Structure 1
Amino acid sequence: DDYEAKYPEDEPFHEADENARVWHVYMEHAEVDDAKMTADMRDALDVLLVFAGLFASVLTTFVAQTSQQLSPDFAEMTASLLFEANALQRALAAGMPPDSVPHSPLSPESPFVPNSSIVWVNALWMVSLTLSLSAALLAVIVKQWLRRYMENRPTGSVRERARVRQFRFLSLWQWHVFSLVGGIPVIVHISVALFLAGLTILLASL
């Protein structure tokens, strides 16, 4: 755009006044850049939010199933004890001594040690789930920051609006918003990698 034709020339020694040309040009380009910047980041965060939400829901289903193997299976224990009781009744009915019936290896007093592969699988998947939820939380926080960045634009002279805009833009760098937007996909990738590692261990132990 031809800013010289769009905005009147400043008087000498008034090039930095409240309504000087430089502030109008600055705000014109800043508003276009801000709109494009926030739109691009919001689109990327929306995709990450959808993926992280779906991935977390699927991963929760896996964790709910495998975490049961970290504690004793009382249903299996009950079935084993009932089988032993039935064998004792048959032995007594046949006149055999009770000691001839083997004891059930499962009982409430028997120590329980989960399989090491199941421990690894659950540990990897719990870390993966934590990272996925953390990525979703960070995405929501960054989207709120971007919304506040674009809303509530100040009124007043164009110089005042330019200063406030520059302050907000520098605050994005100070709070590492751009680094967060770039780091959230890395967190999601690590989460997926941990899930695949746990799935590999689970399949190898079958």
Structure 2
Amino acid sequence: MYEELAPNARVWKVYNDELDKLDSDRVEDWRDGLDALLVLGALFSAVLTTFVVETSGRLDFDWGEFHAQPLDVALNVIWFISLVLSLGTALSAVVAKQWIHQYIAVPTGTPQERARIRHFRFMGLEKWHMSLIIGLLPMFIHLSMALFFVGLLLFLHELSLAIAIIMDVLTFTILSLYLASNLLP
């Protein structure tokens, strides 16, 4: 009686095979996106660090009459926030990749036990809103880059108005293309 639901019944093997296909597609999409975020986050953080080093030196002072310029303070606040967002996104991507690795690891046991473990893991991903978290990570990199560009434009306005105007136009064009590509489809 109830042999069709026995631990080694065919139904569990079919269930596991079908969900393995579904999971592999989902996980492949997540991994590709997270890998791209990690590369972008690392490169962007390296570039951003150069600017932070350049401008943070302006905040160095002796205890005499020196006062940091408000623009220098604003630049450093903007760029440090941008750096923290970029590094935080990279860290979150690494953690998400670890979650994915644990999710797809094939457990030992009967097909029924494997199905139960897979379902338990799947419910954990649902409870912790894994798809939403992975979907939001690019937003933090985008915000980080937007802050970087704001800081860059402020920095350039201090150096040269001619260069700043050219960069304003270029940045506005890039921002317009970005918004159009995200809002139109």
TM-score under structure 1 normalisation? 0.72
Say which one has the larger Rg.
1
1:178 aligns with 2:131: yes
Partner of 1:204: 157
Which structure is higher in helix share?
Answer: 2
Consecutive unaligned residues of structure 2, counting only runs of 5 or more, are 160-185
1-structure distance, mates of 2:31, 2:71: 40
Matches for 1:25-36 after TM superposition, within 5 Å: 25-36=14-25
**How big is the alpha-carbon RMSD for the aligned residues of Structure 1 and Structure 2?**
1.7
Give the count of matched residue pairs: 159
Aligned to 2:173: none
Q: 1:79 is matched with which residue?
A: none
For residues 21-70 of structure 1, the C-alpha deviation after alignment (integer angstroms, 9 at most, x for no partner) is 43222111101111111111111111110000000000000000111111
What is the Cα deviation at residue 148 of structure 1? 1.6
Aligned runs of 1:102-141 on 2, under 5 Å?
A: 110-141=64-95
Query: What is the correspondence of 1:12-161 to structure 2 with a 5 Å cutoff?
Result: 13-72=2-61, 110-151=64-105, 153-161=106-114
Give 5+ residue unaligned stretches, structure 1.
1-11, 73-107
Deviation at 1:121, TM superposition (A): 0.7
Aligned-partner Cα distance in 1 for 2:138–2:157: 29
Q: 2-side partners of 1:67 and 1:35: how far apart?
A: 46
CA distance in 2, matches of 1:24, 1:35: 16
Amino acid corresponding to residue 135 of structure 1 in structure 2: T
- 1:153-183 per-residue CA deviation (whole Å, 9 max, x = no partner) reads 2222211111111111111122222222111
Task: Using the TM superposition, give the Cα deviation of residue 13 of structure 1 relative to its aligned residue in structure 2, in angstroms.
Answer: 4.7
Q: Structure 1 residues 155, 110: closer, same or farther in 2, change over 3 A?
A: closer
Provide Cα deviations, 1:87-133, integer angstroms capped at 9, x if missing partner.
Answer: xxxxxxxxxxxxxxxxxxxxx66421111111111100000000000
* Residue 143 of structure 2, aligned match among 175, 190, 193: 190
Q: Do the aligned partners of residues 205 and 160 (structure 1) sit closer, same or farther apart at CA in structure 2, a change above 3 Å counting?
A: same
Displacement over 6 Å in runs of 4+: none
